[in-house]
C-alpha cells in the first residue's frame, strides 16, 4: 500500500484537476504541494479553506487556474503576496477566485462527503458574498429562507497525518480541521504521513480514516513543515514570518523555489536535525 | 485598546476569539477579571487556555490546553450556528457607521486596490453570536462612510435591518478603538462615541472617522488601565 510521494502524485494528480490540500493550520500537506510544483502540474483548481503559504507557492509556481477558498492569508503574519500578484497582475498566470466563508466551505465538503448535491446553512445573508456558488433555498417546513452551497467533490484530496499502518489506515489527531470530510468527498485521496507503523496505538481525540479511502499513502517525514504535526514537531513560526519577505518579490520567490523545491534539496537528514 | 476590549468580557461567557487584537484582549480578560472566560477559536478548540498568545488560530498550544477539540464543520454547525456562543470578537479592515465590516477587498471587487484575506469565519460569527464586539484602530481609512464590501453584517442599513435579514444574534454591541468606545444608538443603530480613552479627545475621534461621527453630549472617560492589567498585558505581548 505505501508508495513513494512522487509516484503517488504522478499517478493521481492530473493537469486540470480540482485538488484540495486540507489541514486547518495543523498537518498541512506542504511537501505534497511541493511535489505537485516539481511535477509541473498546470490548470489546477485549487481548493482549500485557508490557502496559506503552500498555496502561495503553488500559485506562484503557475500550477493554478482557479482558487476556491474562504480565508487567504499568511496566518498571524499578513498577506499572501504570490496570491495577490496573481489576482491583481495575472502573474505568473491569471487566477480566478471563488470565495466563501469557512462555514460555507465546511458545509460544501460535508455535502460532498454525504453524497448530497448541496448543503444548507444559516449564513451569508446580508453580505456581499454573492456568486453562482451561493444561492438561497426555502425551508419546506418553516418557510425560512436559508443559504444553499453546492457540494464540493474534489478530483483529489490530499491530507497529511501523523501515522498510518501498512494497510494504509490513517490516524490523525490534534486540530483535525475538515480533513475527514475532504477525504470522504473526494474521488481519489492521498495521505502523506509522518511514519508508517506496524500497529496504530489509539490516541485521545484521534480520527481514524480507513485505508480503503486512500488511493495512496506515502511516508513523508516532516511533510507538514513549516506547519506542525501534533506530537511530532511544532510550528516553525519563523518560516511563516520569513515567507513574507521571500514572497514579496518575484525574483526572490523564483530563486527560493529553485533552491528549495525544484532542486529537491529537502532531505531526511535536514528534517532529523529539527525534531 | 486591548484593556478596554478585555473589560467587555465577563467570566463564564463563551467567546469566539479571532486572532490578533481580539486574541490579546480575550487572553488578558481571562488572566485578570474573567478567569472562567470560555474561549473558542475557529480551529475547533473549545475552552482553551493557552499559556502564551497563539500566533495563529490553529496554534498547537490551543489544542494542548482546550477542554476538547472538535472538527471545523462541528464548530460552525453545532456550536456557532445554533447560538451557543455569547460573544464574537472581530477585527475589521473597514467598518461603517452601522458597524458593517469589510475584510475582503479595498476598492472594486474585480480590480481591487488591496486584496484582503477574505471572510474566514467572520460572516457567521457576526450573524450568530448573541452579540459582537469589534476591535479596530480608528482612522479615516478604516472608519469609512460605506464599506467597499460587506463581509460581515453589523446593523445593515439601520433599525430593524438584522431582523429583516433573519439574523439570529443581536449584532455589534460595541466597537473598541485606540481612541474610545463606540456603541450603536438604541434607536438609529448608528455608532455613537460613548467613551473616550485617557489621552484622546472627542475631536480627535471625530477627525479619525470618515463620516460625521455621532457622540454622546458628554462621553465618558475610559478608566485608565490598572497596574495589574498593564503587567499582564506586557507579559502577554512580550
Q: Is the Cβ of B153 closer than 8 Å to some Cβ of chain A? A: yes
Mean pLDDT across A148-153: 98
Strand partners, B114: B106
Model pLDDT, residue A92 = 97
Closest C-alpha among A3, A54, A43, A56 to residue A155:
A43
Which residues in chain A touch residue B151, judged by CB atoms under 8 angstroms apart?
A: 127-129
What is the band of B19 on the pLDDT scale with cuts at 50, 70, 90? confident
CA distance A61 to chain B (A): 20
Which pLDDT does position A274 carry in this prediction?
35
Please give the C-alpha separations between residue A104 and each of A116, B119, B149, in angstroms, as whole numbers.
15, 10, 18
Q: What is the pLDDT of residues B57-115, one digit of tens each?
A: 788 889 989 999 999 999 999 999 999 999 999 999 999 999 999 999 999 998 889 99
Residues of B in contact with A121 (CB under 8 A): 76-77, 81, 124
- Residues 154-183 (B) with a CB less than 8 A from some CB of A: 156, 161-162, 165-168
pLDDT for residue A268: 41
Those of residues 107-146 in B touching chain A at CB distance below 8 A are 109, 112, 115-124, 127-128
Per-residue confidence at A272, pLDDT binned at 50, 70, 90?
A: very low
Q: What is the mean pLDDT of residues A43-67?
A: 97
Q: Does position A267 have pLDDT exceeding 70, yes or no?
A: no
Q: Do A25 and B57 touch (CB under 8 A)?
A: yes
CB B212 within 8 A of CB B172: no
Interface check for B24 against chain A (CB to CB < 8 A): the answer is no
Query: pTM for this structure?
Result: 0.95
- If you measure CA to CA, which chain A residue comes closest to B18? A76
Whether the per-residue pLDDT at A269 is higher than 90: the answer is no
Could you report the per-residue pLDDT of A81-92, keeping only the tens digit for each?
999 999 989 999
**Cβ B119–A87 below 8 Å, yes or no?**
no
Whether B184 has a pLDDT exceeding 80, the answer reads yes
Using one digit for the tens of pLDDT, what is the confidence trace for A181-192? 999 999 999 999
pLDDT at B116: 93
pLDDT at res. B108: 94
φ, ψ (nearest 5 deg) of residue B165: -80, -10
Amino acid B55: pLDDT: 80
Q: What is the predicted pLDDT for the residue at A75?
A: 85
* B residues 72..111 contacting A (CB < 8 A): 72-73, 76-77, 80-81, 104, 109
Residue B208 grid cell:
479619525
**What confidence score (pLDDT) does residue A242 get?**
96
The 8 Å CB, 24+ separation contacts for B180-184 are B180/B138, B180/B205, B180/B219, B180/B222, B181/B4, B181/B222, B182/B213, B184/B98, B184/B99, B184/B155
A270 has pLDDT over 90: no
B54 pLDDT more than 90: no
Is it true that the peptide bond before A195 is cis, omega within 30 degrees of 0? Answer: no
Q: What domains are defined for chain A?
A: 5-100+153-270 (3.40.1080.10), 103-150 (no CATH)
Amino acid at each position: 500500500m505505501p508508495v513513494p510521494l512522487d509516484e503517488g502524485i504522478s499517478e493521481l494528480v492530473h493537469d486540470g484537476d480540482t485538488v484540495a490540500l486540507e489541514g486547518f493550520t495543523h498537518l498541512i500537506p506542504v511537501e505534497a504541494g511541493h511535489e505537485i510544483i516539481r511535477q509541473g502540474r498546470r490548470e489546477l483548481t485549487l481548493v482549500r479553506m485557508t490557502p496559506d503559504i503552500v498555496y502561495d507557492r503553488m500559485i506562484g509556481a503557475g500550477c493554478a487556474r482557479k482558487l476556491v477558498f474562504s480565508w487567504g492569508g499568511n496566518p498571524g503574519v499578513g498577506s499572501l503576496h504570490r496570491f495577490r500578484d496573481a489576482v491583481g497582475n495575472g502573474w505568473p498566470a491569471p487566477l480566478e477566485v471563488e470565495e466563501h466563508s469557512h462555514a460555507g466551505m465546511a458545509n460544501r465538503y460535508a455535502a460532498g462527503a454525504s453524497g448530497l448535491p448541496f448543503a444548507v446553512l444559516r449564513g451569508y445573508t446580508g453580505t456581499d458574498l454573492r456568486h453562482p456558488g451561493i444561492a438561497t433555498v426555502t425551508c419546506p417546513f418553516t418557510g425560512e429562507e436559508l443559504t444553499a452551497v453546492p457540494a464540493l467533490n474534489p478530483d483529489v484530496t490530499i491530507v497529511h497525518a501523523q501515522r498510518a499502518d501498512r494497510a494504509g489506515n490513517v490516524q490523525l489527531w490534534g486540530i483535525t480541521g475538515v480533513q475527514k470530510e475532504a477525504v470522504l468527498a473526494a474521488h481519489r485521496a492521498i495521505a502523506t504521513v509522518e511514519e508508517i507503523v506496524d500497529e496504530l496505538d489509539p490516541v485521545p481525540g484521534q480520527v481514524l480514516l480507513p485505508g480503503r479511502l486512500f488511493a495512496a499513502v506515502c511516508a513523508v517525514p516532516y511533510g507538514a513543515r513549516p506547519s506542525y504535526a501534533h506530537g511530532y514537531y511544532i510550528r516553525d513560526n519563523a518560516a511563516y514570518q520569513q515567507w513574507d519577505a521571500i514572497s514579496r518579490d518575484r525574483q526572490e520567490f523564483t530563486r527560493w523555489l529553485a533552491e528549495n523545491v525544484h532542486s529537491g534539496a529537502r532531505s531526511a537528514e535536514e528534517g532529523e536535525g529539527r525534531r | 485598546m486591548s484593556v478596554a476590549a478585555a473589560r467587555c468580557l465577563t467570566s463564564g461567557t463563551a467567546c469566539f476569539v479571532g486572532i490578533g487584537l481580539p486574541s490579546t484582549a480575550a487572553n488578558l480578560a481571562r488572566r485578570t477579571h474573567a478567569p472562567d472566560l470560555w474561549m473558542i477559536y475557529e480551529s475547533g478548540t473549545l475552552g482553551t487556555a493557552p499559556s502564551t498568545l497563539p500566533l495563529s488560530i490553529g496554534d498547537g498550544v490551543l489544542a494542548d490546553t482546550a477542554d476538547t477539540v472538535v472538527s471545523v464543520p462541528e464548530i460552525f454547525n453545532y456550536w456557532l450556528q445554533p447560538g451557543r456562543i455569547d460573544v464574537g470578537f472581530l477585527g475589521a479592515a473597514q467598518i461603517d457607521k452601522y458597524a458593517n465590516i469589510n475584510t475582503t477587498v479595498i476598492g472594486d471587487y474585480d480590480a481591487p486596490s488591496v486584496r484582503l484575506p477574505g471572510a474566514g469565519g467572520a460572516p457567521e460569527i457576526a450573524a450568530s453570536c448573541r452579540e459582537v464586539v469589534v476591535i479596530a484602530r480608528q482612522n479615516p481609512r478604516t472608519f469609512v462612510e460605506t464599506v467597499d464590501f460587506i463581509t460581515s453584517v453589523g446593523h445593515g442599513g439601520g433599525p430593524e435591518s438584522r431582523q429583516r435579514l433573519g439574523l439570529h444574534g443581536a449584532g455589534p454591541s460595541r466597537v473598541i478603538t485606540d481612541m474610545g468606545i463606540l456603541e450603536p444608538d438604541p434607536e438609529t443603530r448608528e455608532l455613537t462615541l460613548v467613551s473616550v480613552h485617557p489621552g484622546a479627545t472627542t475631536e480627535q475621534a471625530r477627525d479619525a472617522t470618515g463620516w460625521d461621527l455621532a457622540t454622546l453630549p458628554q462621553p465618558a472617560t475610559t478608566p485608565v488601565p490598572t497596574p495589574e492589567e498593564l503587567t499582564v498585558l506586557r507579559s502577554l505581548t512580550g
